[in-house]
């Protein structure tokens, strides 16, 4: 089994006309999100000592539940995997397992609008990581994140990759829009060059 065969089984075939850089960017997004999910699971569910022990801030007892951490990690990775749809056939034609829509073309804006809004919302990560690196929250209060030495290094190694999610998604969204919106001049069909 080749890598292409394995890849097509996992996410479907790559759409026609998608350059290699776009495929690599689409694969990079879930890989960039994965370390932070693993860090959360290790720190809060498995209790690996990645944070200094201390009192739980008021109101965060519910947020520290294992189910919340696991759900946050799974949803984050699932959202990141949707970027692969911007380069795959299932991002252009609804898959056969989708009732009512199966086999129909995905409207360009049905993918571009959520992906664009997602890229905009994800700008929070570079901003947040700069703040965390400086030890402050959005409002200027101290973060409450207590790490020392190797813990700080591990945290930054695992969370800084999130900063690329927004720009990569924005780049893929623009590429998807341009690729899917290209229209042939009147009277001429687009024929792939051989």
DSSP state of 15: P
pLDDT score for 27: 96
What is the pLDDT averaged over residues 37-65? 73
Residue 186: pLDDT band with limits 50, 70, 90: very low
Please, what is the Cα angle at 127 between 121 and 131, to 5 degrees? Answer: 140
Q: Write the CA distances from 7 to 73, 111, 135, 187, integer angstroms.
A: 23, 22, 40, 37
pLDDT score for 26: 96
Q: Are 8 and 131 in contact (CB under 8 A)?
A: no
Exposed e or buried b per residue across 89-121, where buried means at least 16 C-beta atoms within 10 angstroms of its C-beta:
bbbbbbeeeeeeeeeeebeeeebbeebbebbee
Report pLDDT digits (tens) over 96-144.
888 888 888 999 999 999 999 999 999 988 888 887 777 776 666 666 6
Distance CA 135, CA 132 (A): 5
């Amino acid at each position: 089994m080749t890598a292409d065969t394995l890849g097509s089984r996992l996410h479907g075939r790559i759409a026609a006309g998608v350059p290699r850089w776009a495929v690599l960017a689409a694969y990079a997004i879930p890989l960039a999100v994965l370390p932070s999910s693993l860090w959360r699971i290790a720190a809060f569910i498995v209790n690996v000592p990645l944070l200094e022990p201390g009192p739980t801030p008021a109101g965060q007892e519910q947020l520290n539940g294992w189910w919340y951490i696991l759900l946050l990690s799974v949803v984050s990775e699932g959202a990141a995997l949707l970027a692969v749809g911007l380069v795959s056939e299932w991002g252009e034609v609804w898959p056969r397992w989708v009732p009512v829509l199966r086999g129909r073309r995905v409207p360009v804006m049905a993918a571009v609008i959520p992906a664009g809004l997602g890229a905009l919302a994800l700008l929070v990560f570079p901003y947040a990581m700069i703040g965390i690196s400086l030890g402050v929250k959005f409002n200027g209060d101290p973060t409450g994140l207590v790490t020392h030495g190797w813990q700080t290094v591990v945290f930054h190694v695992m969370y800084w990759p999130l900063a690329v999610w927004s720009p990569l998604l924005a780049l893929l969204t623009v590429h998807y829009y341009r690729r899917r919106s290209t229209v042939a001049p009147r009277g001429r069909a687009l024929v792939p060059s051989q």
